[in-house]
Amino acid sequence: MNPSFVNLARRGFLAAVFTLVPLCAVAQFDKQAWPAKTPTPVLNLQDLQGHTWTTAALKGRVVVLNFWATWCAPCKEEMPTLQDLHDSPQAPVVIAVNVKEPKSRVQTFLNQRQLSLPVVLDERGDLARQWGVRVYPTTVLIAPDGQARWRVLGDLDWDGLQAEAWIKDLQRLR
């Protein structure tokens, strides 16, 4: 085979790889507006500590409602940053909704990772269906007026500037 053809083919291949690699490194999430004609489901949740979270009680606060599972690698990756968000000063309310897993598995996961954010069990997946969740993790950002505004599909660094800006924007809607 002609050596100049091989070099040209190799350069073309490398150019294609270096063109595609940045596309793969782009954000691992997709932020979508909450569908305009879809009402925000009512919240009436009880977390593992027995605390009840209702739409009425959360009125006036930004809520970060995260749907996840222990088998989901991106969920595992973002969970520590959700904990950090929960622990931060002037934090929104962060509620993690585990979908279709037994309490013992979820509790073991939380204990192993020293996570203390509120966790709700969605044993049959009813909540996930109500909120239109089809991808894990999915996080719904709810404004202080109780209306869902954004749905974030995929994992996000909740410690990052992007998430901080979104939450500040929602906090301004008080």
Q: Give me the domain span that covers residue 150.
A: 28-171
Half-sphere exposure of 24 (CA within 13 A, CB side): 6
- Residue 146 lies inside a defined structural domain of this protein: yes
What's the number of CA atoms in the CB half-sphere (13 Å) around residue 118?
17
Mean pLDDT, residues 31-42: 94
Tens digits of per-residue pLDDT, 40-49?
Answer: 999 999 999 9
- Residues 20 and 151: their CA atoms lie apart, in Å, by 27
pLDDT tens digits for range 134-162 = 999 999 999 999 999 999 999 999 999 99
**Strand ranges inside the chain, DSSP E:** 29-33, 44-46, 52-54, 63-68, 93-99, 119-122, 138-142, 148-154
**Is 125 domain-assigned?**
yes
Please give the Cα distance from 140 to 148 (Å, whole number). Answer: 7
Q: Provide the CATH number for the domain around residue 133.
A: 3.40.30.10
pTM exceeds 0.85, yes or no: no
